[in-house]
Amino acid sequence: MPSVIVHYQEIALKGRNRPWFVERLVTNVRTAMAGVDGVKVRALMGRIELQHASDGDWPEVRERLSRMPGIANFLRAVPAACDFDAIADTVLAELDGVEADSFRVTARRADKRFPLTSPQIERNLGGRIKAAKGWRVDLDRPALTVRVEVLADRAFCCLRKEPGAGGLPSGASGRVACLLSGGIDSPVAAWRMIKRGCRVRLVHFHSYPILSRTSQDKVAEIAALLTRRQLQSRLYVVAFGEIQRRVVLAVPPPLRVVVYRRLMLRIAERIARTSGSAALVTGEAVGQVASQTLDNMAVIDAAASLPVLRPLVGMDKDEIVNEARRLGTYEVSIIPDEDCCTLFTPKHPATRATVRQLDEAETALPVDALVEEAAGAAERLDLRFPPAADARA
């Protein structure tokens, strides 16, 4: 039965909370593997062991693990008895047909009762491999690293280390609500918070039927991609077109974008409070567009009482784009779409709005009633990964 050894790193540092973090990660891995044949997941001496029945499922298992926050790396592992000769035989069998001109052995001994120390395992096993394959030992830049992990009742032999997403297990850090447009930035902002262990609720504002349904379709697709990582999402879809119409009638053009943002934030905050979220998240970055100056951010913040987190605040656009590509959201984000905030928006929005200006402009609007009505009418969609149809297990 193939095994996979999953390593966590950061959660190993969490002191007395560590068992709780590990349990969280074990539960998440179990959830993510639903539908994989014969899957078993358990915590095992500072790592997690995952077993599954069929080799054919490995690409799917790898794909699912690589997306999850809280995993430093993982390795496909062949178990061997806790005995040096058994380990060496297993490794040599695994190396059958493998070509490499240089190699090294890295051993970790989690159970100190094993008679050889890690350096001794490395030296002795290195000698065997060298004799059998004729490869050169290269400790610094080996073409192949053979990894051996010795636990209490078994050892594991591994050839390839797969990178994990890093961060903390989903659900370990509380809940936040992210304002998710169909653009490039906000999905990356949501991912940053997912990666820090937050469960991220998603709030989208659309202007249907004034504009097309495209933004809603894009956001549904982006939400599904994020759900593959955080395993459960809740998407709130808020009708914003009528509010924009009211803003246009009441607010001078240069202030409109900031008013839209402040209203979005207030509505998102109302939703956040009912869903137990402790902070709001946006995809803003300093100076990226005229509406994202430091002055405007301060004015936007003043509309909310929950903290507004901006995980991308110091990033360049190309850094964000690269991350969106890795995340898989980029292709969806670039589908042409009319942004609901460019609707009724002047060419030159105020870049240095003040709270006083905004408060004054907003007296022309029934802000509380608009916020309450929009939040109350929000549509709610719960998403899970794997989707129910796949979750046979």
Tell me the three state secondary structure of residue 51: strand
Nearest Cα residue to 270 out of 380, 379, 368: 368
Distance CA 173, CA 279 (A): 12
Q: Is 186 in the site for ligand ATP (CB under 6 A)?
A: yes
- Cβ of 356: how many Cβ atoms within 10 Å? 9
Please state whether the peptide bond connecting residue 79 to the residue before it is cis, i.e. omega within 30 degrees of 0: no
Q: How far is the CB of 341 from ligand ATP (least distance, A)?
A: 5
Name which of residues 337 to 376 contact Mg ion (CB under 5 A). Answer: 339
Angle between helices 214-230 and 58-67 (to 10 degrees): 100
Q: Is 183 in the site for Mg ion (CB under 5 A)?
A: yes
* Interface pick for Mg ion out of 170, 181, 216, 296 (rule CB under 5 A): 181
Strand-by-strand arrangement of the 379-384 sheet = 308-309, 280-281, 175-179, 199-206, 232-239, 379-384
Q: How far is the CB of 321 from ligand ATP (least distance, A)?
A: 10
Q: How far is the CB of 260 from ligand ATP (least distance, A)?
A: 8
Nearer to ligand ATP, 264 or 361 (CB): 264
Q: How far is the CB of 303 from ligand ATP (least distance, A)?
A: 13
For ligand ATP, how many residues bind (rule: CB under 6 A)? 20
Q: How far is the CB of 339 from Mg ion (least distance, A)?
A: 5
Q: Is 185 in the site for ligand ATP (CB under 6 A)?
A: yes
Name which of residues 191 to 230 contact Mg ion (CB under 5 A). Answer: none
Residue 232 near residue 383 (C-beta atoms within 8 A): yes
Distance CA 148, CA 87 (A): 8
Residue 307 near residue 281 (C-beta atoms within 8 A): no
Name which of residues 244 to 283 contact Mg ion (CB under 5 A). Answer: none
Query: Can you tell me which residue has the tokens 């784009």?
Result: 321
Binding mask 259-288 for ligand ATP (x = CB under 6 A): -----x-----------------xxx---x
Nearest Cα residue to 282 out of 318, 308, 317, 252: 308
Stretch that binds ligand ATP, among 9-17, 183-191, 221-229, 271-279 (CB under 6 A): 183-191
Q: How far is the CB of 376 from ligand ATP (least distance, A)?
A: 17
Q: Is 180 in the site for ligand ATP (CB under 6 A)?
A: yes
Q: Which two tokens stand for residue 74?
A: 């993982």
Q: How far is the CB of 310 from ligand ATP (least distance, A)?
A: 9
Stretch that binds Mg ion, among 140-148, 174-182, 214-222, 261-269 (CB under 5 A): 174-182
Residue nearest to ligand ATP (CB): 183
Name which of residues 307 to 366 contact ligand ATP (CB under 6 A). Answer: 339-341
Using DSSP bridges, classify how beta strands 175-179 and 199-206 pair: parallel, antiparallel or unpaired: parallel
Cα–Cα distances in angstroms (integers) from residue 46 to residues 18, 108, 110, in the given order: 10, 11, 8
Strand-by-strand arrangement of the 47-51 sheet = 40-44, 47-51, 3-7, 71-80, 155-166, 144-150, 102-109, 136-137
Question: Which residues in this chain contact Mg ion in the complex, by CB under 5 A?
Answer: 181, 183, 339
Question: Which residues in this chain contact ligand ATP in the complex, by CB under 6 A?
Answer: 179-181, 183-186, 204-205, 264, 282-284, 288-289, 291-292, 339-341
